């Protein structure tokens, strides 16, 4: 009984050590002046995302100030859907929304990035990726 309890305590200690290392390695560098960083994406699903339809996607970001986002670019694995205008941006909540066309049905890695103006120069942001299943 004692050895089982010791085994559980050692396992918990190991798990806490691993999770604390993961937390510190995931910390982000501070943003530079006028910089924007994408941190996530989400499709509000309406009973499944269907093929060959435009859907809104919400892209979470953090920004220093209010950089002007000029376009949103997306691709699905190797299928490049291109770039387009954003529908809305809310600096308070850190969410921008864009309409994106969907490819044929299947499992895809959706990737998005934005172009924004920083110090009067067009700059490409980092990209965010999420797995998405497209239904027929």
pLDDT at 35 over 90: yes
> Residue 118 falls within a domain, yes or no?
yes
> Residue 71 falls within a domain, yes or no?
yes
Domain containing residue 44: CATH number: 2.60.40.1930
> Residue 68 falls within a domain, yes or no?
yes
Res 48: pLDDT: 81
> Are the C-beta atoms of residues 77 and 108 closer than 8 Å to each other?
yes
Query: CA-to-CA distance for 125 and 128, rounded, in angstroms?
Result: 10
The total number of residues written for the chain in this structure = 136
> Residue 85 falls within a domain, yes or no?
yes
> Residue 22 falls within a domain, yes or no?
no
Tokens 């600096």 sit on residue: 91
> Are the C-beta atoms of residues 41 and 114 closer than 8 Å to each other?
no
> Residue 70 falls within a domain, yes or no?
yes
The total of structural domains in the chain comes to 1
Structural domain that includes position 77: 36-135
Angstrom CA distances, 96 to 23, 69, 72, 123, 135, stand at 26, 9, 9, 17, 25
Burial annotation 76-94 (CB, 10 A radius, 16+ → b, else e): beeeebeeeeeeebeeeeb
Q: Which of 13-17, 100-104, 109-113 has the lowest mean pLDDT?
A: 13-17
> Residue 7 falls within a domain, yes or no?
no
> Residue 79 falls within a domain, yes or no?
yes
Number of Cβ atoms within 10 Å of the Cβ of 31 = 14
- What's the whole-number mean pLDDT along residues 82-99? 94
pTM: predicted TM-score of the whole model, two decimal places = 0.77
As a whole number, the mean pLDDT across the chain is 82
Tokens of 33: 């002046």
Q: What are phi and psi of 6, to 5 degrees?
A: -65, -40
């Amino acid at each position: 009984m004692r050895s089982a309890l010791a085994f559980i305590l050692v396992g918990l200690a190991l798990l806490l050590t691993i999770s604390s290392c993961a937390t510190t390695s995931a910390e982000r560098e501070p943003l530079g002046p006028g910089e924007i960083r994408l941190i996530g994406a989400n499709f509000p699903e309406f009973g499944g995302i269907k093929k060959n339809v435009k859907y809104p996607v919400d892209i979470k970001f953090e920004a220093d100030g209010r950089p002007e986002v000029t376009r949103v670019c997306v691709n699905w694995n190797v299928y490049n859907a291109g770039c387009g205008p954003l529908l809305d941006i809310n600096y308070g909540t850190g969410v921008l929304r864009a309409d994106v066309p969907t490819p044929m049905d299947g499992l895809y890695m959706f990737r998005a990035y934005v172009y924004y103006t920083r110090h009067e120069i067009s700059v490409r942001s980092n990209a965010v990726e999420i797995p998405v299943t497209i239904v027929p």
